[in-house]
């Protein structure tokens, strides 16, 4: 019998899920079971894939009772902030109900439950924040993630929460855009862009978030951990750094403030995380924003070759 731990991942077809599966496969200590809605969209092999609708309580119960995972990393969520505001029932189902079914299943098989959460549980009045900051969400997405966190914290199984900020990266099929790709393609096309200079974050490379979750799993660490980038930047500063990196025309980048954009969901102005706890207890060390752009630049070339 293998003494490798069974690790079950939700949202495996998504950006974080893809990075998690590929990093876990590089390690010998885990049997990786990836799950997602519908067919497997992950490249490569070496893992098992299970199609699972996590908002179906019976399905969650049956699948996890059969697999009996040692660790669950719950990364699946409805994360599009404006969609969450406009479709609150669907958002609640995806972010709260699904989490409660998974927590219950984790309790039944004694799995270590690792929940991926967000800086959007905070009001955005001050940042960067540490793990003890008091949550006060300003939008519905943040409310549902906070409710998920509370469920996890009161569960009867071993738990951890990995909170993160503005995750960016490249999916293997180039299916998602992000601030770096958006700035790069807009400036290459000679388009003027408006970028807010009053929203601050610690942007997180998807590979770094995955690495933080893997460290939590490997060390069996419990409690709340801020897993994000370390550079505290406004969106405008991110755009300027991106333009500099690719040698593009910065004059096309115009400063704006949040009041110029009307979006269904309110955004917190200042979040961003202090990551000292993850550095000290997990040995977590994220890339700088500039180094992360370099990694994306290489991935763009690979994806288009």
Q: Above 80 in pLDDT, residue 1?
A: no
Question: What global pTM score does this model have?
Answer: 0.98
Place of tokens 């994306």: 296
Q: Above 80 in pLDDT, residue 163?
A: yes
For residue 8, name the pLDDT band (cuts at 50, 70, 90): very high
Q: Where are the domains of the chain?
A: 5-170+203-230+271-287
pLDDT at 173 (0 to 100)? 82
Cis peptide before 128 (omega within 30 of 0): yes
pLDDT at 2 (0 to 100)? 65
For residue 303, name the pLDDT band (cuts at 50, 70, 90): confident
Q: What is the SS3 string spanning the chain?
A: CCCCEEEEEECCCCHHHHHHHHHHHCCCCEEEEEEECCCCCCCCCCCEEEECCCCCHHHHHHHHHHHCCCEEEECCCCCCHHHHHHCHHHHHHHHHHHHHHHHHHHHHHCCEEEEEEEHHHCCCCCCCECCCCCCCCCCHHHHHHHHHHHHHHCCCCCEEEEEECCEECCCCCCCCCCHHHHHHHHHHCCCCEEEECCCEECCEEHHHHHHHHHHHHHHCCCEEEECCCCCCEEHHHHHHHHHHHHCCCHHHEEEECHHHCCCCCCCCCECCECCHHHHHHHCCCCCCHHHHHHHHHHHHHHHHC
Cβ of 62: how many Cβ atoms within 10 Å? 13
Q: Above 50 in pLDDT, residue 91?
A: yes
Q: Above 70 in pLDDT, residue 297?
A: yes
Cβ atoms of 188 and 179 within 8 Å: the answer is no
**CA atoms of 152 and 216, how far apart (whole Å):** 15
User: Which backbone phi and psi does 142 adopt, to 5 degrees?
Assistant: -60, -40
Express each pLDDT in 249-274 by its tens digit: 999 999 999 999 899 999 999 999 99
Q: Tell me which residue of 250, 178, 163 sits closest to 213, measured CA to CA.
A: 163
Q: For the residues 127-148, what does the mean pLDDT come to?
A: 98
- Residue 252's contacts (CB-CB under 8 Å, 6 or more residues apart) are 186, 187, 190, 191, 192, 193, 243
Q: Above 60 in pLDDT, residue 183?
A: yes
Share of the chain above pLDDT 90, in %: 94
**CA atoms of 239 and 254, how far apart (whole Å):** 10
- C-alpha distances (whole Å) from 234 to each of 165, 175, 298 are 13, 25, 24
Q: Tell me which residue of 1, 2, 5 sits closest to 214, measured CA to CA.
A: 5
Looking at the DSSP bridge assignments, the partners of residue 168 are 205
β-strands 159-164, 48-51: how paired? unpaired
Average pLDDT along the chain: 96
Share of the chain above pLDDT 70, in %: 99
- Residue 69's contacts (CB-CB under 8 Å, 6 or more residues apart) are 6, 7, 8, 33, 109, 111
pLDDT at 256 (0 to 100)? 97
Sign of the four-CA dihedral 185, 187, 192, 195: positive
**CA atoms of 169 and 293, how far apart (whole Å):** 9
Residue of 147 and 175 predicted with greater confidence: 147
Q: Above 70 in pLDDT, residue 35?
A: yes
Residue of 302 and 201 predicted with greater confidence: 201
Q: Which fold has domain 5-170+203-230+271-287?
A: Rossmann fold (3.40.50)
């Amino acid at each position: 019998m293998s003494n490798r731990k069974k690790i079950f991942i939700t949202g495996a077809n998504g950006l974080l899920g893809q990075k998690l599966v590929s990093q876990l496969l590089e390690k010998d200590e885990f049997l990786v079971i990836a799950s997602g809605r519908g067919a497997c969209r992950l490249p490569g092999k070496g893992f098992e894939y299970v199609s699972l609708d996590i908002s179906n309580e019976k399905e969650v119960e049956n699948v996890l009772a059969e697999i009996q995972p040692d660790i669950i990393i719950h990364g699946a969520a409805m994360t599009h902030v404006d969609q969450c505001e406009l479709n609150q029932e669907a958002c609640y189902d995806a972010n709260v109900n699904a989490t409660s079914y998974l927590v219950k299943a984790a309790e039944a098989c004694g799995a270590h439950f690792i929940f991926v959460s967000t800086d959007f549980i905070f009001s955005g009045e001050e940042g960067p924040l540490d793990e003890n900051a008091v949550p006060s969400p300003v939008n519905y997405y943040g409310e549902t993630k906070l409710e998920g966190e509370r469920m996890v914290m009161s569960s009867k199984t071993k738990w951890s929460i990995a909170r993160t900020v503005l995750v960016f990266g490249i999916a293997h099929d180039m299916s998602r855009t992000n601030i770096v790709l958006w700035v790069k393609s807009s400036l290459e096309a000679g388009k003027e862009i408006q970028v807010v200079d009053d929203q601050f974050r610690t942007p997180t490379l998807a590979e770094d978030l995955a690495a933080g979750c893997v460290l939590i799993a490997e060390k069996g660490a419990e409690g709340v951990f801020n897993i994000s980038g370390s550079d505290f930047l406004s969106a405008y500063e991110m755009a300027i750094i991106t333009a500099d990196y690719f040698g593009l025309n910065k004059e096309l980048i115009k400063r704006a403030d949040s009041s110029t954009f009307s979006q269904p969901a309110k955004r917190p102005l200042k979040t961003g995380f202090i990551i000292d706890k993850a550095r000290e207890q997990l040995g977590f060390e994220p890339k700088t924003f500039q180094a992360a752009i370099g990694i994306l630049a290489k991935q763009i070339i690979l994806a288009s070759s």
